[in-house]
Amino acid sequence: MMWIAVIIAAVGVAWLAQVATRRARRAFAAGKCAHCGQPLGDQTYRLEGKAICASCAGRARRRLRRALLAFVVLGLVFLVVAVVGTISLLRRHDPTWWQLPLVMIGCIGGLAVAVRLALGTMKQQNRVGETIDRYNLLIDTVRPPTGPDDRAGA
């Protein structure tokens, strides 16, 4: 029964992400920021593939910097635990002292890989989002007129 709840939750999250992406595409087509709805201006920025304004980009940049700083601090905590714990185990002549630094190095490496994957995914989302928005604009420029006003004029 638990896996059904997990599947329903996963489908729900995917659906919400799809709705947010569609809303962001419409906002970009209207020249508005995907986050705050303000006009995009001359310079557009990307976050998770969505076009955002300079002020939202500044906020996102500050949040990302704080998150990266938190990961660096966590990595340093892992390093301190490895050094202090290993020294403590060696003083007690514990024969398993060598396991702690290995585990902590694995934790630091896992943390670094997770941060690298997250940043790589964000950059890829931005590239894909920009490409899709650019092609949508191109499609709009070559799409034949279909509105009632267009037909009346023809």
List contacts with Zn ion (CB under 5 A). Answer: 33, 35-36, 53, 56
Distance (Å, rounded) from C-alpha 19 to C-alpha 1? 27
Residue among 24 and 56 whose Cβ is closer to Zn ion: 56
Q: What length is written for the chain?
A: 154
Residues with Cβ < 8 Å from 55, sequence gap 6 or more? 36, 38
* Nearest approach, Cβ of residue 64 and Zn ion (Å): 16
Per-residue tokens: 139: 């499609």
Smallest separation (angstroms) from Zn ion to the CB of 83: 44
User: Is the Cβ of residue 31 or residue 109 nearer to Zn ion in the bound state?
Assistant: 31
Three-state secondary structure call for residue 106: helix
Q: Considering the complex, what minimum distance in angstroms separates the CB of residue 19 from Zn ion? A: 19
C-beta closer to Zn ion: residue 48 or 81: 48
Provide long-range contacts, Cβ within 8 A and 24+ apart, for 83-88. none
Looking at the Cβ atoms of 53 and 100, the one nearer to Zn ion is 53
Shortest reach from residue 35's CB to Zn ion, in Å: 5
Residue 124 vs residues 1, 53, 82, 112: alpha-carbon distances, Å: 35, 19, 34, 18
